[in-house]
Amino acid sequence: MTLLAILVGTVAAGVGSVWLAALLAFAMLARFTQHMLSLAAGALLATAFMHLLPEAFNSEAGANELFALLLAGLIFFFLLDKAELWHHGHEHHHGELEAGAAHDHGHHAHGHRDEHHHGPRAGGWAVLAGDSVHAFGDGILIASAFVADMRLGVVATLAVLAHEVPHHMGDLVVLRHTTGSQRAALIKVSLAGTVTALGGLVGYVLVRELQDYLPYFLVAASSSFVYVALADLIPQLQKRLGPSETAAQIAWLLVGIGLVTVVSGLAHSH
């Protein structure tokens, strides 16, 4: 019975929060694309600095170890983006050579492909990796609560679902921007959300052993969110804009931070 409750709770929290976030994010994305990028950056930074990292550093894990893992995570996602960009750049160059040999259009063909064939922007894989690690940790937390008390497990499920919604709004905006497809973004984030159930299953079996590793899961997830916000989203917002547009960017950035901070605070208080 406890295992069934854990699986239901983790799927509801992991996938349900994604679909609820999609209803909110995609309804606004068509009209406020740039504003949603600002909101996503704020949500990712707030998730890392106001939620995940404080929980990790409030544990018994050593600060030096956690900071070292945070640094290693940032470097890892930098190298992951390098590999991704190199891969797409190599495919792009190979495709241009084939097109040039087949059509012999010279400079015009090169310019045409540059304009219409861009590989995915950096950041997509880092978001999915961070989401998966974060979801796995959430699953362990939910499993721990259900093992302790069934009512506590239900509260933990609702808390995780609530505080994940603003964060997943940011994820969906990032992946919609990198893939160019709302459906692909929703599928990918939903699949990452299902890792919550895996975390719940593993947590049910190894709840005592895995509790000691939760701070490291939290820091690993934080490194991905910080990297995506600072390396991909915020550089896109660094444009020369008028005072009103600049104020709107800052306002939506603060909205993203405020949403995650308030919802996480409410979830923890209950």
Instruction: Report mean pLDDT in 10-residue bins for the chain, 270 residues.
Output: 86 85 72 72 83 83 91 86 58 47 45 41 68 81 75 72 72 77 84 87 77 79 81 78 85 86 66
* Ramachandran assignment for 123, one of left (phi > 0), alpha (psi -120 to 50 degrees), beta (any other): left
Q: CA 110 from chain center: how many Å?
A: 34
- Report in angstroms the alpha-carbon separations of 158 from 16, 199, 202: 10, 16, 20
Say what the pLDDT of residue 227 is: 84
- Report in angstroms the alpha-carbon separations of 73 from 48, 78, 191: 13, 9, 22
pTM of the model: 0.62
Say what the pLDDT of residue 46 is: 84
Task: Report which of 38, 40, 128 is spatially closest to residue 80, judged by C-alpha positions.
Answer: 128
**How many whole angstroms separate alpha carbon 131 and alpha carbon 85?**
21
Say what the pLDDT of residue 116 is: 39
Per-residue exposure over 136-145, b if at least 16 CB sit within 10 Å of its own CB, e if not: bbbbbbbbbb
Any residues with CB less than 8 A from the CB of 98 and at least 6 apart, and which?
A: none
CA triplet 191, 262, 247: central angle to 5 degrees?
95
